[in-house]
Chain A
Amino acid sequence: MPSLDQLPLYLKDQIVALFPTPLQPWVGALIAIGTLCALFPALFAFTTVLERKTLARIQNRLGPNRVGPAGFLQFAADGIKSLTKEDIVPRNADRVVHFLAPFVVVVPPLLALAVLPIGRNLVALDLKETGLLYFFAVGASVEVGVFMAGWSGGNKYSLLGAMRALAQLISYELPLILSALTVVMLTGSLSLVSMVEKQSSVNFGGLYSWNVFTPWGALGFLLFLTAAAAEANRSPFDLPEAESEIIAGYFTEYSGFKFALFFLGEYLGLFAVCGLGITLFLGGWLPPFTWLNWVPSWLWFFGKLMCLIFFFVWLRGTLPRLRMDQLMQFAWQFLFPLTLINAFVAGVWHFTASWNFALRWALGAGLLALAYTLLSRPFTQAFPRRTYRFAP
């Protein structure tokens, strides 16, 4: 009997062994693909309910509570509703492109999920040479789908929405990749599996050396999360969608299940980018302490994933949306230089490996604090702290 940790792998081997030898690699690949295509959309269904309930709590409402136990089957009702709705294609629409766009938006995040190590030895596609590059290359293909959706509707406003979305996606791709680059520098590999293994050395007190416990990792994680929120169209950077202002920008002209596919693509993108953040900075499937090793590794991964998703829901419930010019200014004048300085600090960290730990930490943190203060000065000057005066 295998340990609980390796149970998914054991089950897969058992199923594969049932087939004749020439078919076995194909069956193995199909099982991996099927698992990914079932697991993450299921997680999406669960997340939609969780998000609605959490937002309701933040806004002092009850949220969905009618379908199933405590409203947790709401996603099934939503799915049936979107399936039975009429699929409206505008008369002006470019029919072929209009039909293809939802698939171009959904498929790349599913492909990107394949390289994430979701547990010890549990990775669908272990690209030893190019894992991270594959993730970003596949992720960049979403942009074509966004454009196709915005253009094909024959609606000027969705085209404008697509342009805004593209400007945002391209601008925030830079800080996203540059903040991930620090981990590549320190790992010396593009393989996501070896990035997790690199973090498995044990420090004092049985603490695993997650990248987030270093100065460049801590700041890099924050920068990565910021850029990830923008890439996944999450609040406060959800301008492409902005349902209260422009009613879902580039996919305005979609209805029924095609609309649901855009929704699915967005959440799969969120899972992918959160999973990447976990792999890069939060130790992937590693527990925080060695004495927690008995918990299965895949449970750690999904636990961290749910925590990050909860964090993004929390942000959505509390922060207002940015304006387009603020968004761009923030990306190019603050995030981008700070990621470059962070990469420099990661280099300093690499070359001071022989130093005393506290000294090394203080040097890195000091450099980053200095950079942060200097870079944020224009913003604090342009937007001084507001004082409120209430009528007596």
Chain B
Amino acid sequence: MNAVFALLAGLTLGAALAAVTLRNLVHAALCLALALAGLGLIYIHLEAEFVGLAQILVYVGAVAILIVFAVLLVRGAELPEGRVSRAPWWGAGFTALFAATLLWAVVRSPVIRQATRPAPTVTVRAIGDQLMRDYVVPLQAIGMLLTAATLGAALIALPRRDPNSSAHQPTPP
């Protein structure tokens, strides 16, 4: 474990911890964005440049903004005083179970048992080849799903037409 990794891991963990403990929802969302960016930096530090930069582009650039929009549209930044969740220990229990499962899967995977492996050189071209040849059906399926979601969002956002009144027309200037 070298110094850069320790720094990045500390940043990510600290920001993640702040994201779940801060009382101000916008602060929590911004800390979450920082944690996601820290995760991206760890990927880059592990020489997975493409994954790291995609993580920053998608999560910091889009998902964090989406979360912030949602927070502000649903309610204000301040939480009411007192306990927010009715059963916080259930959440902690499920999180621990999830983390334990992941840890178990990682520890017993054959990759980790081999003492040293040469680092694979993964090029962007190889990733593209995989996506466009071997995994083209899942890729297209995800594309369909996202298109459907976008169309649904656009439908919800359309102005409701009142059948009695005249159709909504943008007035020319």
Contact = CB atoms under 8 A, between A and B. Distances in A.
Nearest to A173: B61
Given A129-B49, A134-B53, A382-B172, A140 B61 contact: yes
Interface of A: 94, 97, 127, 129-130, 133-134, 136-141, 143-144, 147-148, 151, 159, 163, 166, 170, 173, 188, 190, 325, 382-384
Complex A-B, nearest 5 residue pairs according to Cβ-Cβ distance, in ascending order: A140-B61, A137-B57, A137-B56, A137-B53, A133-B53
B9 interface: no
Contact of A140 (B62, B72, B170): B62
Interface residues of B, number: 28
Given A143-B65, A144-B33, A148-B30, A383 B57 contact: no
Given A133-B54, A147-B68, A159-B72, A127 B49 contact: yes
B90 to A, nearest CB: 32
Contacts of A141: 37, 56, 60-61
Given A129-B124, A141-B56, A166 B65 contact: yes
A347 B157 CA distance: 34
Contacts of A137: 40, 53-54, 56-57, 60-61
B77 to A, nearest CB: 8
A133 B65 contact: no
Contacts of A159: 72
Contacts of A148: 30
Interface string B118-133: 0000011100000000
Nearest to A151: B26
A141 B6 CA distance: 23
B165 to A, nearest CB: 20
Interface string B50-84: 10011011001110110011001000010000000
Given A97-B30, A129-B124, A190-B124, A147 B60 contact: no
Contact of B53 (A130, A173, A382, A384): A130
Contact of B60 (A134, A144, A382): A144
B23 interface: no
Contact of B50 (A129, A151, A173): A129
Contacts of A136: 57
Contacts of B68: 147, 151
Contacts of B53: 130, 133-134, 137
B151 to A, nearest CB: 13
12 contacts: A97-B30, A127-B49, A130-B49, A137-B40, A137-B56, A137-B57, A140-B62, A141-B60, A143-B65, A170-B62, A173-B61, A382-B170
